[in-house]
Chain A
Amino acid sequence: MSVLSPISAADSGGGTPTFLSPPIGCDEAEFPILLRRYRLGLALFVAAIGMLFVGFSSAYVVRRGIPIYDAGTGGYSTDWEPLRLPIRLLLFNSCLLICASVAMEVVRRKTSAFVYPSETNGREVTLWLSASLLLGTAFLLGQGIAWHALVSSGRFLSTGARTAFFYVLTSTHALHALLGVLAVAAIASFGARISPARRYVAVDLTAWYLHAMTLLWVYLLCFLLFA
């Protein structure tokens, strides 16, 4: 029977060590498996976040196109208000986030899964890590300033749908970016105490997550500016 044909190792599932694997990478031998598994988990998480924003974006597009019927004139109008954004601030914030992401990428590349950073390039890594943390925090603060600017010019959630969408999209993004910044902070504070393999997994995931949030932000900014 064809179902009985022997299969090659490549056919088989995710590799053998699952059976004996301890909770999270303590062992160098299991490191590649764990890294792959956690990256997969992260990718799925990011996909879900993506769908959240697909939901918001489609709502935006639909809401933008809805006409309001005016019984007086029998015509249609729109309540899609013009929205003047603090563009220069937002662009500056984007640079901050991109730089935070780049700094984290440097950390990722300079981190080894097999030796403690203190034994090699510890200082350098710490420097880049702090840079990423600072830049990420600065981005969040910058977003706060942008909201403040909008609020002080009298534009609130209830001002109109477009303004509301601006707040919803940026704050939901900020919340997710905050997760990334917190992860960087966690690595900066506890990273020295865990095994190199574990530390590498943490650094790698955080870096990819920050990249994803950066990409999402670039998309959102283009969307808000041009859609």
Chain B
Amino acid sequence: MPSQIQLRSSSETKGFLRKYIFSTNHKTVGIQYFFLSLFAVVVGMALSWLMRIHVAWSGVRIFGLEHLSAAGAPGGVITPEYYLSLMTLHGTIMIFFVLTLAPQNAFGNYFLPLQIGAEETAFPIVNMLSFWTTLVALLVLLATLFVGDGPPISGWTAYPPMSAVGKDAGPGLGTGQNLWIISIGIFCIASVLSSINFIATFMDMRCKGMALMRLPLTCWAWFITAIMSLLSFAVLLAAVLLLLLDRTAGTSFFVPANLLVSGKIEPHSGGSPLLWQHLFWFFGHPEVYITILPGFGIVSHVLSCFSRKPILGYKLVLGCMLAIGFLSFIVWGHHMFVSGMSPFSGFLFSIPTIVISLPATITTLLWLGTLWGGRLQFSTSMMFGLGFVSTFVAGGLGGILLAHPAVDSYLHATYFVVGHLHMVMGVSAIFAIFAAIYFWYPKMFGKMLNERLGLIHFGLTFIGVYCIFMPMHLLGFAGNPRRYAILSDDFLIRLIPLHQFITVAALITGAVQFLFLFNLFWSLYRGEPAPANPWSATSLEWETSSPPPIGNFRRQPIVNHGAYEYGETNIERDFVMQSDPESVRMKA
């Protein structure tokens, strides 16, 4: 009935600036976030190469690096301090601007409204603002490379006293640390704004028939993640404000009395570095699940689609995600077992930490159960989904070891933790992002990605990440501390060959990513045109054209089915779309 079709056409008549740059359209904002993360991940990866090369061959000259920082890399050789600067920047970029943004803000912005049958998010202007605020945060962070004496050396966790006492404590701790704090503060505000938009969209914009139990698990994951961001980033904002005051206004929140820094007694008195750790990790632990929960949703979605089977235990997966969301707020102390906190508190934090691995395990088993007996289709997206399950288990098992204070007192601040966090967060979350890209690229850009190139990309990346991050666990067992720029102690020198192996693997795996980048941009122009529903999937985004029109749907969708009805049906296909009429149904 054409009379029902009354799309808002106002955005079509908008000027270039409103349409592509300061756009409030959720699809444009999603794509903006996507490219922002893509840019950030390239920078972050380049930084990691510099660090890896330096750890493995500490005296080596990296050609041209002296132009980035004459003091940090005299003659192209990285100083130990500059190594730490690069490390801080790497961690901050990756955690905040890649792993937080891509799964949630990029794909969530694009696909949440589509999957719930809405034409927009609840607050489009807020959405636009949060993107531009985030961009400012990224620029402020990158500015640390070029002003003062470089990025701070205090790591992505910015522990005081180092981060609180100013430039006397080391390079980058003057202007660099201030900019870092400002950048993170801005990022917090942007995250809060964006999560308000996500939650309201989820709660208030579902189309007719989209009952809660019919929602794709991706939508649930974005919703839970948004709640976690809303609650945790506000606390981080409080923490960085206090840190900024310690640095600029002479307060003493985090700096203890009589601290001797570079031969000078600090004027501060009575503060506590532990206080920062509590505030930071109250944000920090939810944050690690903020990076991974959208991945849970994406992987559930993709595995079900490419197994041609309903997701096993929809409600259980959902319950596990809710449980993880809740538990992640009460385990933060496991990052502080050896910080001088009372051992009783350590015990108290150890219990929920071990408990949180239960919902994670249950979800993993449900994913395997979904695969069981399915007619598996090994598309690139599916492979990355399977890769996610693999790396998540590999990294998660390391977490269970770390969850025991007695074990952690040996492994804390070693490469074991680096291996754990990269396996479970770096690699798994990135794999979820890849699964999402290979799955949704046709919808977003109207072109198919090259599958053969995609499978090669997956295969090499999968082998690569295991070569990089599994040996790090061994280094940790051997006692190799993290955040060391040069390995010069006897027992460390013997570990250098392993480090060299890791570096080579990292460089090769990094190079493989250019296959992906090539595929991404080449397919934009040369890819085959994407049909509306290339994967024979059920959720609403596949009902509309690729890419969807402004307003998303030509007709307002009405949902009659759940999100995962794959299998024999009473018509000629093996799936029921959510918007199919009620007469279409699965065979019992």
Contact = CB atoms under 8 A, between A and B. Distances in A.
B116 A161 contact: no
Interface string A1-12: 101101101011
A218 to B, nearest CB: 20
A18 interface: yes
Contacts of A12: 206-211, 559
Contact of A161 (B204, B251, B561): B251
Given A59-B238, A66-B270, A164 B208 contact: no
B257 interface: yes
Contacts of A18: 118-119, 204-205, 207
Contacts of A79: 252, 257, 269-270
Contacts of B123: 41
Interface in A141-160: 156-158, 160
Contact of A68 (B192, B230, B257): B257
Given A4-B561, A16-B208, A56-B238, A47 B230 contact: yes
Contacts of B195: 44, 48
A70 to B, nearest CB: 9
B191 to A, nearest CB: 9
A40 interface: yes
Contacts of A123: none
B128 interface: no
A76 B372 CA distance: 63
A20 B207 CA distance: 11
Contacts of B196: 41, 44-45, 48
A168 interface: yes
B317 to A, nearest CB: 14
A37 interface: yes
A47 B231 CA distance: 8
Interface stretch (B135-143, B242-250, B345-353, B524-532): B242-250
A74 interface: no
Contacts of B252: 79, 160-161, 164
A9 B558 CA distance: 12
Interface of A: 1, 3-4, 6-7, 9, 11-14, 16, 18-20, 22-23, 33, 36-37, 40-41, 44-45, 47-56, 58-59, 62-63, 66, 68, 78-80, 156-158, 160-161, 164, 168, 172
Contacts of A20: 6, 8, 556
25 contacts: A3-B213, A4-B560, A6-B582, A9-B208, A13-B210, A22-B8, A37-B122, A40-B199, A41-B122, A41-B126, A45-B192, A51-B231, A54-B234, A55-B239, A56-B238, A56-B242, A58-B279, A59-B238, A63-B271, A66-B275, A157-B250, A157-B251, A158-B250, A168-B242, A168-B245
B275 A52 contact: no
B272 A62 contact: yes
A160 B251 CA distance: 7
Given A12-B210, A18-B205, A41-B123, A51 B230 contact: yes
B150 interface: no
A141 B59 CA distance: 61
Contact of B253 (A13, A23, A54, A59): A59
Contact of B242 (A36, A48, A59, A66): A59
Given A1-B588, A3-B565, A12-B210, A52 B204 contact: no
Interface in B133-154: none
B275 A62 contact: yes
B449 to A, nearest CB: 31
B271 A161 contact: yes
A50 B208 CA distance: 33
B25 to A, nearest CB: 12
Given A47-B230, A51-B230, 4 more contacts: A18-B205, A22-B8, A48-B230, A164-B251
